[in-house]
């Protein structure tokens, strides 16, 4: 049986992951409107990954006897004025998500909930990758984004992202 406080934190994180997906779809909407379909595609794939994260956490709670409940998903509230702004917001958002995952991990560590720590190990690693991806995109945009040919090439590169379901990560 899961500790109640840990279970509630993971349940809240399910909502945060679904919000992350909603946020990235909002980024995709911006880029689709701007004519940058590759950027839009990249964030559509990211939104699918975020849903996977939510599903993995939901399944962990269910498999450990916790009744999952859902709250409202917040409205993304970004009014982007340039093509760099979603990338910056994305990097900041992933740093925030890392802090949330770290907090749950710290709570699990404090009560020696090794099972949850093992479950969260996959997410700790994933956050490292997601922060790096977000930072790399910012760097590439700074290097190539101000030139139309560079922006075109970057858009083509991002269009090639392939969605791979995140289903083999944590032990359930
Ligand atoms: Fe589910 Fe982008 O972290």
pLDDT in tens, 17-60: 999 999 999 999 999 999 999 999 999 999 999 999 999 999 99
Q: How confident is the model at residue 169 (pLDDT cuts 50, 70, 90)?
A: low
58-100: per-residue pLDDT in tens?
999 999 999 999 999 999 988 999 999 999 999 999 999 999 9
Which own/partner contact pairs does 80-89 have at CB distance under 8 Å and 24+ positions apart? 80/30, 83/31, 83/34, 83/36, 83/39, 83/141, 83/145, 83/151, 84/138, 84/141, 84/142, 84/145, 86/27, 86/30, 86/31, 86/39, 86/43, 87/134, 87/137, 87/138, 87/141, 88/138, 89/23, 89/27
Cα(88)–Cα(75) distance, integer angstroms:
18
Q: How confident is the model at residue 171 (pLDDT cuts 50, 70, 90)?
A: very low
CA of 148 from ligand 1 middle (Å) equals: 30
CA of 50 from ligand 1 middle (Å) equals: 5
Q: Is the CB of 53 under 6 A from ligand 1?
A: yes
Identify the pLDDT of residue 78: 86
Which residue's CA is the closest to the ligand 1 atom numbered 1? 50
CA of 149 from ligand 1 middle (Å) equals: 31
Q: Is the CB of 130 under 6 A from ligand 1?
A: yes
Given a cut of 50, whether residue 172 has pLDDT beyond it is no
């Amino acid at each position: 049986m899961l500790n109640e406080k840990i279970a509630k934190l993971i349940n809240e994180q399910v909502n945060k992951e679904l919000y992350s997906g909603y946020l990235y779809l909002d980024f995709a909407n911006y880029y689709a409107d701007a004519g940058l379909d590759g950027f839009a595609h990249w964030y559509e794939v990211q939104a699918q990954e975020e849903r996977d994260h939510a599903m993995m956490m939901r399944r962990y709670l269910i498999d450990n006897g916790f009744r999952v409940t859902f709250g409202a998903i917040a409205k993304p509230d970004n009014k982007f004025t340039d093509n760099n702004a979603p990338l910056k917001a994305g990097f900041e958002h992933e740093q925030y998500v890392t802090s949330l995952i770290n907090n749950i991990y710290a709570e699990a560590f404090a009560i020696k909930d090794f099972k949850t720590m093992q479950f969260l190990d996959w997410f700790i690693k994933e956050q490292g990758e997601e922060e790096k991806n977000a930072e790399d995109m910012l760097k590439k945009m700074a290097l190539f984004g101000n030139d139309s040919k560079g922006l075109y090439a970057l858009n083509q590169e991002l269009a090639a992202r392939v969605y791979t379901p995140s289903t083999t990560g944590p032990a359930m």
